[in-house]
Amino acid sequence: MRINPSVRSLLFALVMLALPVVSSAQIILSIGFAPPPLPVYEQPLCPSEGYMWTPGYWAYAQEGYFWVPGTWAMAPEPGLLWTPGYWGWGDNAFVFNEGYWGAQIGFYGGVNYGFGYAGVGYQGGYWNNGAFFYNRSVNNVGSVTNVYTKTVINNTTVTNVSYNGGTGGITARPNAEEQKATSEKHTPPTSVQTQHVQAASTNHQLYESVNKGKPAVAATAKPGEFSSGVVAAKAAAPSYKPVTARAAAPAAAKNTASEGKDTAARPATAAHANELKPAERPAPNTGNPKLDKQYQQQQAKLNTSQAQDRQKLQQKQDQEHQQLTKTKASEPAKQKVEQQHQQQTQQVAQKHATQDQKLQAKQQPAKQPAAKKAPPAKPVAEKKEP
């Protein structure tokens, strides 16, 4: 099966690996403009039994969006299924929710990634007694023996839209089963999957700014192998528009991407460093004056460091503004610089939000062990009258 708009309905896992998740929804990055639509591509041949399909998606780095090729990957353990990551709109930004392994398929934004991932659940296969069985109607399985054939009926039009919520985004919301899967145990991407994303981030040809929505490597037979067994995109999505034409969705648009989780730790969208506000932190009050003083010193040190970050970036952006004025730059050139400034600013904001979360967790008072309950009184034997 291929992702193609002519058929019915049917994403730092990121390069920003230093950024921890802020909730069980694993939100790890926020961007001010929408990701490109999914390209049209075929699935490479499954290498052998045990490999499971993980769809391609658009990730983000300092240079902009880049394509992470779809690939066949081994599950961390039998019985686990892959829930793809996805972009969603919320709090005036597009946020990325990282994919994960779990016993059940969770919510992935309603994005139709194809090859069994039609927006809800997974119709590409199932586990049975430690072996994975492949639905060959949606998978390119070749000589794999554990196969069956089941037609997948899709009831929505394929648009190749790659995000949930906001202007032009998918409006799906998690159903009861997906909500349940959200609260169950999750296993993060394997080290091989993480290396796959890192390798993609270093491949210049995979950046949207170069491929215009049609990556030269759309999918690979195995993670990180970009030279053999690769599949090029057949075309960019018909709805593709350059990044300058993809305006961020209006603030009123709601996002279902966080699956109902707390996303308050995400920074709001700002275009320049001087728009970033210092963090407001409550004064430590642990009841231990010595510990409170230590916490205050840690907060002051972080305040100074973050202020230096903002000042350094603002000086750089001011110099670039002056250069644009001096050279009488064209409007497209100005837009490109402003785009870079927004990206730089959001990366600093995300960095600071992460630092704040770490400090807050570090200064969180330790939980007191619950008091042991007294054992129930033994029942007194009832005396019988002679």
> Which residues have a Cβ under 8 Å from the Cβ of 138 and sit 6 or more positions away?
1, 114, 115, 116, 123, 124, 152
Q: Is 87 exposed, middle or buried (0-12, 13-18, 19+ CB in 10 A)?
A: buried
Q: How confident is the model at residue 81 (pLDDT cuts 50, 70, 90)?
A: very high
pLDDT at residue 384, as a whole number: 44
Band of residue 167 on the pLDDT scale cut at 50, 70, 90: confident
Judged against a pLDDT cut of 70, whether residue 250 lies above it is answered with no
* pLDDT confidence band for 182 (50 / 70 / 90): confident
DSSP characters for 264-316?
A: TTSPPP-SSGGGPPPP--PPP-SS-HHHHHHHHHHHHHHHHHHHHHHHHHHHH
List all residues 6 or more positions away from 329 whose beta carbon is below 8 Å from its beta carbon.
Answer: 323, 337
Q: Collapse the DSSP code of 127 into the 3-class scheme (helix H, G, I; strand E, B; otherwise coil) and give the result.
A: strand
Residue 374: its pLDDT value, please?
52
- Poorest-pLDDT segment among 14-28, 143-157, 270-284, 294-308: 14-28
Q: Given pLDDT bands bounded at 50, 70 and 90, which one contains residue 258?
A: very low
Residue scoring higher pLDDT (55 or 243): 55
**pLDDT reported for residue 247:** 55
Query: C-alpha distances in angstroms, 185 versus 103, 140, 327?
Result: 8, 30, 56
Higher pLDDT residue, 203 or 229? 203
Residue 262 scores a pLDDT above 80? no
In 3D, which of 312, 278, 298, 269 has the Cα closest to residue 361? 298
Residue 116 falls in which region: left (phi positive, over 0), alpha (psi -120 to 50) or beta: left
| Higher-scoring residue by pLDDT: 244, 173 | 173
- Residues 104-118 have a mean pLDDT of 95
Average the pLDDT over 336-360 and give the result: 82
Residue, of 13 and 280, whose pLDDT is higher = 280
Q: Give the pair of three-digit tokens for residue 107.
A: 């919510």
For 157, phi then psi, to 5°, come to -80, 135
Rg value, the chain, Cα: 25
**Which residues are CB-contacts of 350 (< 8 A; sequence separation ≥ 6)?**
16, 19, 29, 30, 266, 267
**Across the strands, what pairs with 126?**
133
E strand residue ranges, the chain: 27-31, 51-54, 57-61, 64-68, 70-74, 81-83, 86-90, 93-97, 100-102, 125-128, 131-135, 147-148, 163-164, 219-220, 230-231
Q: Distance between CA atoms of 86 and 109, rounded to whole angstroms?
A: 6
CB 207 within 8 A of CB 63: yes
Between the two ends of the chain, the Cα-to-Cα distance in Å is 85
Report if pTM > 0.75: no
Q: How confident is the model at residue 269 (pLDDT cuts 50, 70, 90)?
A: low
What is residue 131's predicted lDDT score, i.e. its pLDDT?
95
In this predicted model, what pLDDT tens digit does every residue of 277-313 receive, in sequence order?
787 777 788 888 898 888 888 888 988 888 888 889 8
Largest separation between any pair of C-alpha atoms in the chain? 113
Closest alpha carbon to 12 in 115, 117, 86, 76: 86
Nearest by Cα to 273 from 304, 302, 244, 315: 315
DSSP state string for 343-366: HHHHHHHHHHHHHHHHHHHHTSPP
Short-list 103, 121, 91, CA closest to 22? 91
